[in-house]
Homo-oligomer: A and B are copies of this chain.
Amino acid sequence: MEYLEIFSGIWKLRLGAPEEHVPSAQRFVKSPQKNGISELPPVTLPFSPDDITFSVSPRGCLIELPMNANEDVYGLGLQLKSLVQTGKKRILRVNSDPVADTGDSHAPAPLYFSTSGYGVMVDTARYATFYTGGNKRCGNHSEQKKDYDSRSIALNEEDLYSGRKSGLARMMIEIPVAQGVDIYVFGGPKMLDAVRRYVLYSGGGCMPPEWGLGIWYRCCGSADQSEVISVADELREKHIPCDVLGLEPGWQSQTYSCSFKWSEERFPEHEHLIHLLDTMGYKINLWEHAFVHPTSPMHESLKPYSGDFEVWDGLVPDFATEKACKIFGEYHQHNFTSENISSFKLDECDNSDFIISPWSFPECSRFPSGMDGEQMHSLLGMLYQDVIETACRKENIRTYGSARCSHLFAPSMPFVLYSDLYDHKDFIRGVVNCGFSGMLWTPELRHAVSTEDYLRRLQAMVLSPQMLLNIWSMPHPPWYQLDREKNREGIFYSESEREKLLASTRKILKFRQSFIPYLYSAFAIYHFEGIPPFRALAMDYPDCDNMRDIDYAWMAGPDLMVIPFTADTTERTMPLPPGNWYDFYTGQKHSEEIYLNPDIHTLPILVRENCIIPVAEPLTAVTDGVKYELQLRIYGKTPQPVRMFADDGISLDYQKGKFAWGEINQEGIVSQEISFRYEVKDILRFV
Q: Taking beta carbons and an 8 Å cutoff, which residues of A are in contact with B?
A: 57-59, 62, 87-91, 98-103, 129, 131, 134-138, 140, 146, 148, 151-158, 160-165, 172, 174, 176-177, 220-222, 248-250, 254-256, 293-295, 303, 306-310, 313, 315, 352, 354-359, 361-364, 372, 374, 420, 472-474, 484, 488
Contacts and interface: CB of A to CB of B under 8 A. Distances in A.
A159 to B, nearest CB: 10
A59 B99 contact: no
Top 3 A-B residue pairs of the complex, sorted by shortest distance between their CB atoms: A163-B357, A89-B358, A102-B354
Contact of A362 (B101, B131, B152): B131
A361 to B, nearest CB: 7
Given A131-B358, A146-B313, 18 more contacts: A57-B364, A59-B177, A59-B363, A62-B364, A88-B357, A89-B354, A91-B354, A102-B355, A135-B309, A136-B309, A148-B295, A151-B254, A151-B256, A155-B473, A161-B357, A162-B357, A164-B357, A172-B364
Given A356-B163, A358-B131, A484 B156 contact: yes
B488 A362 contact: no
Instruction: Give the oligomeric copy count.
Output: 2
A226 to B, nearest CB: 16
A138 B58 contact: no
Contacts of A176: 59, 176
A174 B372 CA distance: 13
Contact of A155 (B172, B174, B220, B352): B220
B101 A354 contact: yes
B101 A138 contact: no
A88 B360 CA distance: 11
Contacts of A294: 148
Contacts of A358: 87-89, 131, 134-135
A497 to B, nearest CB: 24
B62 A138 contact: no
Contacts of A146: 313
24 contacts: A59-B372, A88-B354, A89-B352, A89-B354, A89-B362, A91-B354, A99-B99, A99-B100, A102-B354, A103-B354, A129-B363, A135-B361, A137-B308, A137-B310, A138-B306, A138-B315, A146-B313, A151-B256, A154-B221, A155-B221, A155-B472, A156-B484, A164-B357, A174-B364
A175 to B, nearest CB: 10
Contact of A153 (B99, B140, B161, B250): B250
Contact of A355 (B57, B91, B100, B363): B100
A667 to B, nearest CB: 54
Contacts of A306: 138
Interface centre among A140, A220, A364 (most CB of B within 10 A): A364
A361 B136 CA distance: 9
A473 B254 CA distance: 56
Nearest to A173: B364
Interface centre among A153, A293, A355 (most CB of B within 10 A): A153
A247 to B, nearest CB: 12
Contacts of A134: 357-359
A293 B682 CA distance: 70
Contacts of A153: 221-222, 248-250, 255
A441 to B, nearest CB: 19
A92 B103 CA distance: 17
A101 B355 contact: yes
B156 A354 contact: no
Contacts of A98: 100
Contacts of A138: 303, 306-310, 315
Interface centre among A89, A101, A294, A313 (most CB of B within 10 A): A89
A250 B153 CA distance: 7
Given A135-B309, A148-B293, A156-B484, A59 B101 contact: no
A97 to B, nearest CB: 9
A249 B158 CA distance: 16
A176 B89 CA distance: 19
A307 B248 CA distance: 54
B164 A309 contact: no
A267 to B, nearest CB: 13
Contacts of A363: 59, 129, 174
A157 B103 CA distance: 23
A157 B353 CA distance: 12
A35 to B, nearest CB: 41
Given A161-B357, A254-B148, A372-B57, A135 B101 contact: no
Nearest to A90: B354
Interface centre among A138, A220, A313, A474 (most CB of B within 10 A): A138
A157 B421 CA distance: 10
Contacts of A101: 354-355
A249 B176 CA distance: 37
B156 A357 contact: no
B307 A356 contact: no
A611 B625 CA distance: 86
A268 to B, nearest CB: 15
